[in-house]
Structures are given as structure tokens and as C-alpha cells.
């Protein structure tokens, strides 16, 4: 691991006077330090990205040339996969099994998929018009794009955004979370080695509170793609209103899994455990609300608790670990505060709910997998995102009640339906208000399919053709094909 992590601006690795310590959440110890951007570096990144788009070669490169660069980045990620997985684990507390087999290879696969498909996505459309007119719809890059990436999937979500953004011909300022900047800064080295022209990608690290407004309000920025909390998303909307620009907002979630009496109970329970405790529950798509049909409610609760108690907490770098620490002490305190509030509102903790006592975990930010029952549908914990390993189980009688409960919150990102009646599931999928509905599965993200939410979970898409095209703008080019070259408009005033 590097002893220091510089910024990357205009193909230069820049160490700044101000540094930050990077903490390993498993141990609470400092693992390295990273440079922090001041307003000077923010301005340099903005001007470099703007110059690279307006006057550099990148937007003029052929699509095949762009494809070569995207594939080089993919290869670079795979060549450094083991080191990236280790770094992601040390920086986030995410178990090494997850970073090795999910996060890093999935990030590389996104670049590979986009490289092999974006040329088809960019083909001009030829609308059929009345005789005498011809038009084509051209897809162009948007311009300078700010990509703001969260701390829960630092490399993977950066890859989701970067692959499409670069393939479309844009130039980029990537801002990782200041809690987890390391793999983004390593990715800068991979992109530099791939030979991208100066200014095409710039990676800057600082807190959003310090540089967020300067990045998002600046007139040199054409588009912002943000993944993070609803609260910060609202701030970005305010900043961006100072100079109108395009936005993608992938915000929070309070997702529900609907478990019906005819579901395979073991499969549903095992899968529901993953859907809330993977990555310590720090997922926007975490199924934090289990709505269970009353006929199987008691069996589901008993089975869920029995298996949740067997989940192995441990140091993130141990391949036997199933759940690592939360990202920070402040995040753990937030989770505890939600549990205390839930208890005050009548909920009962029947599993977990406390900091583990194992001596080997005492210095990390660990918290037990937690289950609540007797939770009112009007309570804070039912409606608000906890972003930690906390689930609640709420019973329902029929499908109409289940849908009403699922749709009763402000978020609409994802949902699950567990039933052997696929006809029922298909009908419910049309009624549930969420951007993704998984039927008898969870967490299946495909590069071919778009991902994004509704309501307070945001707008716009990542991945798939739809997600790629978010990073383009459409130009309508119309040619008059009137006979003798004299269009109707020529005669309007009769001169």
C-alpha cells in the first residue's frame, strides 16, 4: 500500500499541503494519508476538464479509439484486482470475500460491457417524417461531468459512472467520499497508464462540505451524477440551480421484501439475511423492511433470528468473515440512535442491537446484526433509512395490505417479492412503487439493465442502454427535402 495518495489533475499527481488520515474501520487505526484538495485544486480540475472537452482531442476521437481506452482501463483493473480488493477492504471494512469476488470484478465487467456495446447505443436515429423533410437524432457528449461517489461502494459505483461517462466522450471530475478515497485514487493511476489525454479524468479528494458547492455550482460543469444520501442530494440540487445543468440523483432507500405464505421459507430467509446484512446493511437497496404474511410470520421470525445469530462478525481481511464493521464510529452511533428511538416508539429488539463484546473486535466499528418486531408503520425506523445492519419484520394478511405497506414510505428504490405464484408476483410488481423489483431473488445487477429509483430515491439511471444515454445529449438535425430546394417557409410572406 502506498504511504501517500496524491490527487490526480490534468495528468499530474499532486500532493497538497493538507492531508487526511485514512482509518481502517476494522481496527480503528490509521492506514495511510491522502491529499486534500483546496479551492486552488478544485479550480485547476474544473479548468482542466473544461479545456480537455472544449479544445482537447478526447471528444473528437473515433468511437473505436474510445473503445480501446475503455478496454485498457478494464484490463488495468483486472491486472490489479487483488491489490484493489485488499485496499477496498482496508478502507471500507467491507469483507475481503465481497471485494474480491463482487466489487472489483464487477467494476471491471462494467467497463468491458460498455466498451462492447456503446457504439451501438450511439447510432443515429432516423425518424420517419412527412415527405419533404429528413431528420437525424445525433447523440453527443454532454461536456464536463462531475461524478460524486459514496463510501459504501467506492470503486464499483465509480466504475458504473466512469465507464458510460467516458465512452460517451465526456470529460470528468471524480470526487470520491473523503472517507474512502483510496481505490478511486488508485484507479486514477490505472487510467493514467491507459494513456487518456490530459484533463479527461481528474480525481480530487476533499469533504463535500468544503468543496461541494464550488464543484456543483460552477458554470464550467455541464452535468452532475451523484450517488449518496437524500440530504446531500437536496444540497446538490440547490447548488446546481445557480447554473442550470443536467443531474442524475441516486439517493436513499427504505426497501421492502414481501414474503408470502407459499414462498420457499428457507430460501426466502437465507436470501433476506443477505439483503439486509451484506456490506453491514450499508446499501441503498438494503431490504430493511420484511413484510411477512401472517400465516408464516412466526416461522419466519424464528428462522431469521436463528440464522442471524450465526453470522460471523470479524476482521474484514479474514476470508471467513461474513460481516465486517460499519464505516465509522459516527455511523455506528447513528444506528444506535435509531434503535433507541424505535424502542421508545414501542419496537422490540429480538436479535442483536448492541456492540459485540469479542476482544478482537473492540477497536473496530462493529455492530451486531439486529432485528426489530412490533414496529409501527408510522414510526421513524419504518419510514427512514438507517443504513446499517438493522431489519424490521412486519406482518400482513393479504397482498393489497402488503403493497400499501411497501409503498407507504417516501423512498422507492427497490423491492423483493417472495412467492411461488409468479402470476401474483408479476401483478404486484406493477403496483409496487420502486425502480427495481426482484422476484424470488435479491441484488441481481446486470450491466444490460438500468438501475435507479423513484420518489425521494432520486431520478435518472445508471447501467444499461438507458444509463449510458444519460451521459449524452440529443441533437435534432433537420434537412428540408422539398422539390426544387424551395421549402414551404420560403413562401410564407409571399415575396
Question: How far does the chain reach from its first CA to its final CA, in angstroms?
Answer: 76
Q: Buried (b) or exposed (e) across 255-288, using 16+ Cβ within 10 A? A: bbbbbbeebebeebbebbbebbbbbbbbbbbbbb
Distance CA 404, CA 391 (A): 19
**Cell numbers describing residue 494:** 409571399
250, 368, 462, 470: which is the annotated catalytic residue? 250
When computed from its CA atoms, the radius of gyration of the chain, rounded to whole angstroms, is 24
Active site residue 416: no
Are 70 and 201 a contacting pair, CB within 8 Å? no
Cβ-contact 293, 395 below 8 angstroms: yes
Of 323, 326, 375, the closest CA to residue 349 belongs to: 375
Would you say 166 and 156 are in contact if contact means Cβ atoms under 8 Å apart? no
d(CA 179, CA 339): 24
Based on the residue annotation, tell me whether 272 is a catalytic residue of this protein.
no
**C-alpha–C-alpha distance, residues 309 and 336, integer Å:** 18
Closest of 209, 172, 2, 11 to residue 91, by C-alpha: 2
Catalytic residue, from 272, 284, 351, 416: name it.
284
Please identify every residue annotated as catalytic.
250, 284
Amino acid at each position: 500500500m502506498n504511504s501517500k495518495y496524491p490527487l490526480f489533475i490534468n495528468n499530474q499527481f499532486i500532493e497538497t499541503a493538507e492531508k487526511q488520515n485514512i482509518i481502517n474501520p476494522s481496527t480503528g487505526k490509521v492506514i495511510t494519508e491522502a491529499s486534500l484538495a483546496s479551492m486552488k485544486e478544485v479550480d485547476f480540475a474544473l479548468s482542466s476538464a473544461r479545456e480537455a472537452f472544449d479544445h482537447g482531442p478526447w471528444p473528437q476521437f473515433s468511437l473505436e479509439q474510445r473503445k480501446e481506452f475503455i478496454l485498457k482501463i478494464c484490463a488495468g483493473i483486472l491486472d490489479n484486482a487483488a491489490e484493489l480488493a485488499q485496499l477496498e477492504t482496508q478502507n471500507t471494512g467491507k469483507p475481503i470475500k465481497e471485494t474480491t469476488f463482487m466489487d472489483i470484478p464487477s467494476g471491471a465487467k462494467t467497463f468491458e460491457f460498455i466498451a462492447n456495446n456503446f457504439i451501438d447505443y450511439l447510432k443515429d436515429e432516423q425518424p420517419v417524417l412527412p415527405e419533404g423533410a429528413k431528420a437525424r437524432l445525433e447523440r453527443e457528449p454532454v461536456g464536463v461531468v462531475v461524478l460524486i461517489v459514496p463510501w459504501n461502494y467506492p470503486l464499483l459505483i465509480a466504475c458504473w459512472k466512469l465507464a458510460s461517462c467516458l465512452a460517451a466522450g465526456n470529460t470528468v471530475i471524480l470526487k470520491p467520499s473523503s472517507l474512502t478515497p483510496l481505490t478511486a485514487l488508485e484507479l486514477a493511476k490505472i487510467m493514467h497508464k491507459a494513456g487518456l489525454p490530459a484533463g479527461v479524468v481528474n480525481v480530487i479528494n476533499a469533504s463535500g462540505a468544503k468543496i461541494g458547492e464550488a464543484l456543483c455550482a460552477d458554470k464550467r460543469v455541464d452535468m452532475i451524477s451523484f450517488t449518496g444520501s437524500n440530504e446531500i442530494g437536496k444540497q446538490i440540487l440547490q447548488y446546481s440551480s445557480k447554473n442550470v445543468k443536467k443531474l442524475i440523483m441516486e439517493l436513499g432507500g427504505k426497501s421492502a421484501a414481501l414474503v408470502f405464505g407459499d414462498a420457499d421459507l428457507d430460501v426466502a430467509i437465507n436470501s433476506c439475511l443477505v439483503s439486509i446484512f451484506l456490506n453491514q446493511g450499508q446499501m441503498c437497496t438494503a431490504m430493511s423492511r420484511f413484510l411477512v404474511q401472517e400465516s408464516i410470520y412466526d416461522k419466519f421470525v424464528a428462522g431469521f433470528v436463528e440464522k442471524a445469530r450465526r453470522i460471523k462478525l470479524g476482521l474484514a481481511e479474514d476470508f471467513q468473515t461474513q460481516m465486517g464493521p460499519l464505516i465509522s464510529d459516527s455511523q455506528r452511533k447513528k444506528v444506535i440512535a435509531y434503535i433507541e428511538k424505535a424502542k421508545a416508539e414501542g419496537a422490540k429488539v429480538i436479535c442483536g442491537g448492541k456492540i459485540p463484546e469479542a476482544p478482537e473486535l473492540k477497536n473496530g466499528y462493529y455492530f451486531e446484526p439486529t432485528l426489530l418486531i412490533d414496529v409501527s408503520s408510522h414510526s421513524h425506523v419504518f419510514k427512514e433509512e438507517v443504513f446499517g445492519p438493522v431489519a424490521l419484520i412486519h406482518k400482513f394478511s393479504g397482498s393489497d395490505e402488503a403493497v400499501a405497506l411497501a409503498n407507504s414510505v417516501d423512498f422507492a428504490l427497490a423491492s423483493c417479492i417472495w412467492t411461488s405464484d409468479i402470476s401474483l408476483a408479476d401483478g404486484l410488481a406493477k403496483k409496487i412503487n420502486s425502480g427495481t423489483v426482484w422476484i424470488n431473488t435479491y441484488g441481481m445487477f446486470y450491466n444490460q439493465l438500468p438501475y435507479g429509483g423513484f420518489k425521494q430515491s432520486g431520478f435518472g439511471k445508471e447501467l444499461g442502454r438507458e444509463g449510458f444515454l444519460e451521459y449524452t445529449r440529443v441533437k435534432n438535425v433537420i434537412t428540408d427535402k422539398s422539390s426544387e430546394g424551395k421549402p414551404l417557409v420560403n413562401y410564407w410572406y409571399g415575396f
